[in-house]
Structure 1
Amino acid sequence: MFKRLAPTWQIESIYNLTAADLHKNNIKVVLTDLDNTLIAWNNPDGTPELRAWLRLMEEEKITVVVVSNNNHQRVKRAVGPLNLPFVSRALKPLTRGIRQAQKRYQVANDEVILVGDQLLTDVWAANNAQIRSVLVKPIVESDAWNTKINRGIENLVKGSLYKQKLLSKNWRNSLDDRA
């Protein structure tokens, strides 16, 4: 029933995505959610770990693009210091933001992934766009008020996905980690 909400991969953190794994899977562009995926929703400055991961992606010629449902000013303020391109008001789970990024970077569906911490926006959007998705554990346990509603519904969906073995209770460390 909830198959459209099942991620392709499920890993602990976006920082576990390695250039080797991405190259091996023909991924040229990583689309990423902003809040609780790339940065903590309540700490827009990011971390040294984030900056190191972004440098590595740049060195390996893998483009990272933020695709966020937030407004332009919020996303610009958060990613400006990181010098990251972005699409704001992406309207996930619709495909608008994904298609906009794909057109901008001229990548086919099999050359791009969407990384995010929510099934109802990020994973569903990726599946609607017929691209692969990576579900990550939220960076922090707390959420903005509007995300708390999604989390409640998401917990019900997760129960069904666990039963169907479309989602694991164990977080992986890489795309190839099968444990």
Structure 2
Amino acid sequence: MVEGIYRTRVGYCGGIADNPSYRNIKDYSEAFEFDYDGDLITYDSIIETFWYSHTPENRTGKTQYKSIIFYRNQEEKIIAEDSRKRFENQVGRSFNTEIRPLSKFYLAENYHQKFFLQNVQEIRKDFIEIYPNIMDFINSTSAMKVNSYCKGNGTLKRLKQEIESFGLSSQGEKALLDIVEGYGK
């Protein structure tokens, strides 16, 4: 979990055709979009985290799984390129991660959003009640954080400090605590 990022969404980016989907991804790559508070974290810090949280040497040959950073402006482009150079120098090899301008981001299907959270029935049920509108769920900071915990990010100590703010039922809280305890963090 990265402090300062308050919203994430998964989707498809980088292609030319309209309306990609998981079953018809066309010339797009799977991507995630994030919003952050620039007073709490810098874009440079986010990109640095990116290098340590993915496999930059992924060479599947499939556009769907390409390693790409999409930038929104010239400043982000420079930060991403400089960061890639630093990371490559640090590890002593180059990577095939592309750095390209953001064209259009298409949201992935609802079942892909907050994927790890949605696979925990007790928690999923709570979030359906909290956010009956799917876009509110997709854009929720709480859902983003809980999804991250379900994936194995975050510590038990931090979870205990903020779990009440998520609005989960006692069953949902227990399920989330059990997950994080299971990761041994």
Which structure's CA Rg is the greater one?
2
| Greater share of helix | 2
Instruction: Choose between structure 1 and 2 for higher RCO, CA contacts under 8 A separated by at least 6 residues.
Output: 1
TM over 0.5: no
TM-score by length of 2: 0.31
